[in-house]
Structure 1
Amino acid sequence: MVRDLYMFSRVNEEADVIWFKVAYENTVHSEADITSFFAEKGLDIRFAYLDSSEDPTKGKYVMFTEAEKGRDIGSIAEELEKMDVVLSVKWGYSKNRAIQSVDFPLQLLGKRAVIIRAKTFVDIINIMNEQVPQSEGLLTMIGIRNGAGAARYMQEMVEMNDDNFLGLLGELLMAAGWGKIEYDINIFELTGIVRMKDSFLADEYGESDVPVCVYISAFLAGYISECLKKTVQVRESKCKSMGDEVCEHVISAAPSGVKIEHLLRGELH
């Protein structure tokens, strides 16, 4: 939700909004000990998140709180840093009372990322459609490459198998704001359907006579092909922009002998 990504604290407009970034040793009680410390100091957590994705032996605890103006936060930070599990502490004031859920630079799937509005993404697609010959093929190649790359990264981070790879994809797409998926796929016959509710492309694109989620179809093709090590094709058969209730992506096996790298080169039409 947008408010969880970036919001303004209005709980006590006479207090200071303060952030802490705590690096800690990842033990079974680290997070609880740090949370208890803040509670003992009377610092209510307005927003917080944990991250240990970069190094499982270490973690990062980011917390936003409010404190009465003039309170000695420096001494609290020094005391926090002396805890056995704490490696380092950074803190500061949010002058504009902003609370955000991301660090700078933002990381997504192991790479630097930026947040853009769905409208900006759709504007890019529209300009490509107007100015670039065979723009749909280009979008397909980009989507396949991105989907395959996402699958490879997730395979490094978590244990993926035939039973959970689509569930993990669903969590990823929902967290990224793309939409919510339901799926019915036969992984042995390489056939099935992925339905996406509230596709960000279809919602922002508006009315259309043809399906508009080509990039998402291609992303699904790249992701599924990489996970199964078998090449699939994906096409959008229904689209919310055409008046359908949900966007529907049909999965089928690629012709015999076609590999994912052939799709990346645009050799399959």
Structure 2
Amino acid sequence: MNLRRRHSLQTSPKGKPNALDLRRLVGSVNQLRFNDSKGELSFFGQKMIILRRDVIRIMRDGLERLVADQAAPFLSYLASGIGIHEGSIFRDSITSTGEEQRAALENLVHSAFEDTNLGLGKVKIRMIDFDKANADIVIGNCFEAMENGSSEEPNCMFTSGFLAGLFAEVLDKTVQARETRCISQGQPECEFEITSMEATAE
């Protein structure tokens, strides 16, 4: 069963919030936890630090000074490692197997991206196909594109790498992420295609 998340408030015929809305409301209250005695912040149980969103652009600028035109692929490679780690957390949190595991993973990915957006922007997962190891993701107000400014080519290298790593774990295949549209090019949103490297090699 394909469970899609809704962004509008869903109510019962009597106008009362349904169980999904109440669960999401409670979840949103408990997403961030501050431990003042230790100076720690956790998000969904994972310890976090808070950095300004332009930190990726600053890192990219520094890499460009060090390695010139290799900065973008270098950043993408580093981001893929972060994505792999995040994807493994998703996968390890699912205890079911087979089709139930796929459904639970897809539901978790939709929830993690579309309900919280992870600060990437307004994320919409249009499609996930476990058999073909494909996915289509659209990000409105993508943080990386907004920070990078205008460009002739798609330039969300960190986001592409992160998505490739995460979906490699979720889909359990070697995949690549390609940005097909970018806000930096004047498009209304950034669009990413996740495809299997195995299919590309054939």
TM-score (norm 2): 0.68
How far apart, CA to CA, are the structure 2 residues paired with 1:131 and 1:213?
19
How far apart, CA to CA, are the structure 2 residues paired with 1:198 and 1:136?
20
Aligned to 1:226: 169
What are the superposed Cα offsets for residues 226-263 of structure 1, whole Å, 9 maximum, x if unpaired?
A: 122111111111101111111011122104798xxxxx
Q: Aligned in 2, Cα 1:208/1:220: closer, same or farther, shift over 3 Å?
A: same
Contact 1:185 1:193 in 2 (8 A): yes
What are the superposed Cα offsets for residues 43-94 of structure 1, whole Å, 9 maximum, x if unpaired?
A: xxxxx9447xxxxxxxxxxxxxxxxxxxxxxxxxxxxxxxxxxxxxxxxxxx
Counterpart pick for 2:56 among 110, 121, 125: 121
How far apart, CA to CA, are the structure 2 residues paired with 1:139 and 1:215?
6
Q: Which one has a bigger Cα radius of gyration?
A: 1
Percent of residue pairs bearing the same amino acid type: 23
Choose between structure 1 and 2: higher strand proportion: 1
**Secondary structure of the equivalent of 2:153?**
coil
Q: Which runs of 4+ in 1 moved over 6 A?
A: none
How far apart, CA to CA, are the structure 1 residues paired with 2:74 and 2:86?
18
For 1:156-235, what aligned pairs fall within 5 Å after superposition? 156-159=92-95, 161-173=101-113, 174-179=116-121, 180-235=123-178
Q: Aligned in 2, Cα 1:166/1:195: closer, same or farther, shift over 3 Å?
A: farther
**Secondary structure of the equivalent of 2:51?**
coil
Q: 1:239 aligned to 2:182?
A: yes
Unaligned stretches of 5+ in structure 2? 1-27
Note the aligned Cα RMSD (angstroms): 2.8
Unaligned stretches of 5+ in structure 1? 1-47, 52-99, 259-269
How far apart, CA to CA, are the structure 1 residues paired with 2:178 and 2:134?
12
Q: 1:148 aligned to 2:84?
A: yes
Aligned to 1:138: 74
Aligned to 1:72: none
Quote the offset at 1:101 in angstroms: 6.0
Q: 1:253 aligned to 2:189?
A: no
For 1:12-161, what aligned pairs fall within 5 Å after superposition? 49-50=29-30, 102-103=34-35, 104-108=39-43, 111-133=46-68, 134-159=70-95, 161=101
What are the superposed Cα offsets for residues 9-52 of structure 1, whole Å, 9 maximum, x if unpaired?
A: xxxxxxxxxxxxxxxxxxxxxxxxxxxxxxxxxxxxxxx9447x
Q: Aligned in 2, Cα 1:49/1:246: closer, same or farther, shift over 3 Å?
A: closer
Q: Bigger shift: 153-162 or 192-201?
A: 153-162
Question: Which of 1 and 2 has higher RCO (CA within 8 Å, sep 6+)?
Answer: 2
Contact 2:56 2:158 in 1 (8 A): no
Contact 1:139 1:214 in 2 (8 A): yes
TM-score (norm 1): 0.53
Aligned residues: 163
How far apart, CA to CA, are the structure 2 residues paired with 1:156 and 1:130?
38
What are the superposed Cα offsets for residues 114-152 of structure 1, whole Å, 9 maximum, x if unpaired?
A: 111112322222221232241222212211111110111
How far apart, CA to CA, are the structure 1 residues paired with 2:57 and 2:112?
20
Quote the offset at 1:108 in angstroms: 4.3
